[in-house]
Structure 1
Amino acid sequence: MIRDIVRDTFFLSQPSVAADRKDMPIAEDLIDTLKANADRCVGLAANMIGERKCIIAIRVGHAYLAMLNPVVVRHAKEQYETSEGCLSLDGERPVKRYAWLEVEYRDLKFKKQRQTFRDFPAEIVQHELDHCAGILI
């Protein structure tokens, strides 16, 4: 189901709580909402659709990936500066990001996965992880 995008900064600044198996419909809604906004968005976090759960969805090329309870287990030593926009906020803001990171998460079958993201996909994951932590970019 496609959901409305939340723009309430008070809500968005609250940290998310861990997701469990019963939260799978939220992950599916995230992917549906991301697909519906594909012309202007490459990632979403659950709080952006009104759910304070630690779930993110990203688009890498033509593929969509949902991650429940993603955690960075390793990352590049150095960071670079870039500028990012957000569907929930107006304008762009400067941020520092790692060029690569390794993430552990649960997939849509709640199976544990580990994946390395590089370059722009790594930037997307970091932006959405900030959302889960209640950090507004």
Structure 2
Amino acid sequence: MIRAICKDMAILSRKSVPATREDVQVLDDLLDTLRANADGCVGLAANMIGVNKRIIAFSIGPVNIGMINPVITKRNRPYDTEEGCLSLEGVRQTKRYESIEVEFLDRNFKQHKQIFTDFTAQIIQHEVDHCEGIII
């Protein structure tokens, strides 16, 4: 289901709680909402649709990927950049890393550990920040 984008700072600034198997529908809603906003969005976190769960979705080209309970375990090569967000107005300065390692569960709750680089790594970092209640 396509959900409205949350702009409430009280919701966005709360740290998300771990997701369970009962929360898979939230991942589906995130993926539907990401597709519906594809013209101006490359990633979403569950709190951006008003759900306080540690779930993110993002695009790599035409492919949309979901992660449940993502945790960044390694960061390499920091850089400064500007980012925008559907939940916020304008762009803001932030620090990101060119390469990250992420541990996460897929929709079947299978454990993964994967390295991401460049823009994909930046998107994931932005969405994981949302899970931590960090607003750029």
Q: Same fold (TM over 0.5)?
A: yes
Tell me which residue corresponds to 2:57.
57
The answer for the alignment partner of 1:10 in structure 2 is 10
Could you say what the CA RMSD is over the residues aligned between the two structures, in angstroms? Answer: 0.6
**Displacement after TM superposition at 1:113 (Å):** 1.0
What SS class does the counterpart of residue 15 from structure 2 fall into? coil
Deviations 1:80-121 (A, max 9, x none): 000000000000000000001010100011111111110000
DSSP-derived class of the 1:126 partner: helix
- Secondary structure of the residue aligned to 1:90 is coil
2:126 alignment partner in structure 1: 127
Alignment of structure 1 residues 51-130 onto 2, 5 Å: 51-76=51-76, 78-130=77-129
Rounded to whole Å, the distance in 1 between the matches of 2:112 and 2:31 is 18
Deviation at 1:10, TM superposition (A): 1.1
Structure 2 residues not aligned, in runs of 5+: none
SS of residue matched to 2:89: strand
Gaps of 5+ in 1: none
What displacement does 1:21 show? Answer: 0.4
The amino acid of 2:59's aligned partner reads R
TM-score, normalised with respect to structure 2? 0.98
- Following superposition, the deviation at residue 27 of structure 1 comes to 0.4
SS of the residue corresponding to residue 131 of structure 1 reads helix
2:43 and 2:111 map into 1 onto residues whose CA distance is 20
Deviant stretches of 4+, over 2 Å? none
For residues 74 and 8 of structure 1, what CA distance do their matches in structure 2 show?
30
Give the whole-Å Cα distance in 1 for the aligned partners of 2:95 and 2:75.
13
Report deviation, 1:74: 1.5
Quote the Cα distance in structure 2 between the aligned partners of 1:80 and 1:45: 23
- SS at structure 2 position matched to 1:89: coil
Scaled by the length of structure 1, the TM-score of the pair is 0.98
- Count of aligned pairs: 136
> What amino acid does structure 1 have at the position aligned with 2:33?
T
Equivalent residue number for residue 39 of structure 2:
39
Tell me how far apart the structure 1 counterparts of residues 78 and 112 of structure 2 sit (CA, whole Å).
25
2:21 matched residue in structure 1: 21
Aligned-pair identity (%): 54
